[in-house]
A and B are shown apart, each in its own frame.
Chain A
């Protein structure tokens, strides 16, 4: 574990892998820590955002160093079924990169239960893990300036759904009509950390 300061506004905790990130996130979420305003989990890091006026950074570093880094199971926030039309612009490219046929890509994507590990990038975007390892593909060489809302993509070991039209560099394999982000709904995000996801082929 490395703890890297972000001036007085945060501590970036660098860990070995996502499991450790989730374990530390779970351990810190359980505690009331004065001056901690937010926790931002990512693939290999947990950012502890601080209110500099109320945070005791030395005490926090102690708490972080002593936290358990195993057994950080995600809280189960239920199963969400996401209907997808698999006609994404990069389906052919994903098929080429993986050596699977288009049908096999679809079967692999719908064949396992995914779960939301963490958010970031944009409101309502969730990084989904737990997919078929054959689906690991790099990001596109060049980002698109606008990816339509509802696009379903792959990058690295992650899958995700674009909550609204935005720039993006993931390989697009399909789209869903499901509104995964609405600010007039509570909670606004359907894909929150801990939600399990089944993709289902629709027409």
Chain B
């Protein structure tokens, strides 16, 4: 019930060169992502899409796409692709070493790949996810209005694998005027994330709220596009009853009975049965999505008037 296998997409082209990217190595997880699906929550379909939407938008702007065009989300690196025609690409997000045909290139810049050129994305030094946008956009067939791979729901194209061929759309619109974006790469040390308490902070003890805002948490290995499991102080509940499942937003800090919170990311379930103690505001979600296992997080409460 998953979407079509990208390995078969464009495979009909045979020896002909088309506007395509061929995957030579996929790294631990590379998926096609755009800005996801909205309006389908009543049938249990979540938004999905890029975990770090700011970086996806930037990558698309650099190559002159609309901001929501589909691109490849690379996790930690290890993605190698070959252009099957002349293609214009840009890589944003985490701080990755990049080479084109063995020569060092730069992320956050516009790169032109000749027909047959190989782009290799190495292991990122800081951050977690990168976005490889290609001028014209990745044009796998959309599923329910989006090309995003929802890893929880099993919607959209399967994660990329060796031999996957990604069709690339025709460019439209003018070529962008900038060729580099001076963006700070994600920091490697402690991260501070803003949170707004609620909607269910009254399910927790005062001590839990004090720990949440006063002690550090560590991103565990048990983290993916669905959410990040955090280790650190336990967040004890005041209410011990069962919460009827309710809708959740991205950035929600959901606390299961063991008291260890999970921070919901792009593929989080539409509803959840554990109370949400606090929510990371939308502007800080890209920062959260770049936190990697082992990194320390501090939460800082914001008032309604703050962004």
> Which A positions have Cβ atoms within 8 angstroms of B?
4-10, 12, 37-47, 49, 52, 118-126, 163-164, 181-183, 187-189, 192-193
- Mark B171-199 against chain A: 1 for CB-CB distance below 8 A, else 0: 00000000000000000000000011011
Smallest CB–CB gap between B17 and chain A, Å?
Answer: 30
Contact (Cβ within 8 A) B43 A45:
no
Q: Any chain A CB within 8 A of the CB of B252?
A: yes
The verdict on A40 contacting B199 (CB below 8 Å), with A5-B304, A6-B252, A121-B271 known, is no
Q: Any chain A CB within 8 A of the CB of B280?
A: yes
**Chain B: CB-nearest residue to A127:** B245
The verdict on A193 contacting B279 (CB below 8 Å), with A6-B199, A181-B1 known, is no
Contact (Cβ within 8 A) A183 B143:
yes
**Interface stretch (choices B34-42, B110-118, B224-232):** B34-42
Q: Select which of A7, A39, A124, A181 is within 8 A of B41 by beta carbon.
A: A39
**Chain B: CB-nearest residue to A45:** B246
The interface residues of chain B, by DSSP majority, are classed as loop
The verdict on A183 contacting B281 (CB below 8 Å), with A42-B246, A42-B271, A44-B244 known, is no
Which A residues are CB-close (under 8 A) to B279? 5-7, 9-10
Complex CA–CA separation, A122 to B200 (angstroms)? 23
Q: Any chain A CB within 8 A of the CB of B44?
A: yes
Contact (Cβ within 8 A) A189 B43:
yes
> Which B positions have Cβ atoms within 8 angstroms of A?
1, 3, 38-45, 47, 143-144, 153-155, 195-196, 198-200, 244-252, 269-271, 276, 278-283, 304, 307
Contact (Cβ within 8 A) B42 A7:
no
The verdict on A9 contacting B198 (CB below 8 Å), with A52-B282, A183-B144 known, is no
The verdict on A119 contacting B44 (CB below 8 Å), with A6-B279, A42-B271 known, is yes
Q: Can you name 22 A-B pairs with beta carbons within 8 Å?
A: A4-B199, A5-B198, A6-B198, A6-B248, A7-B196, A7-B279, A7-B281, A7-B282, A8-B307, A38-B41, A40-B247, A42-B245, A47-B41, A47-B249, A119-B41, A121-B270, A123-B43, A123-B153, A183-B3, A183-B144, A183-B155, A189-B44
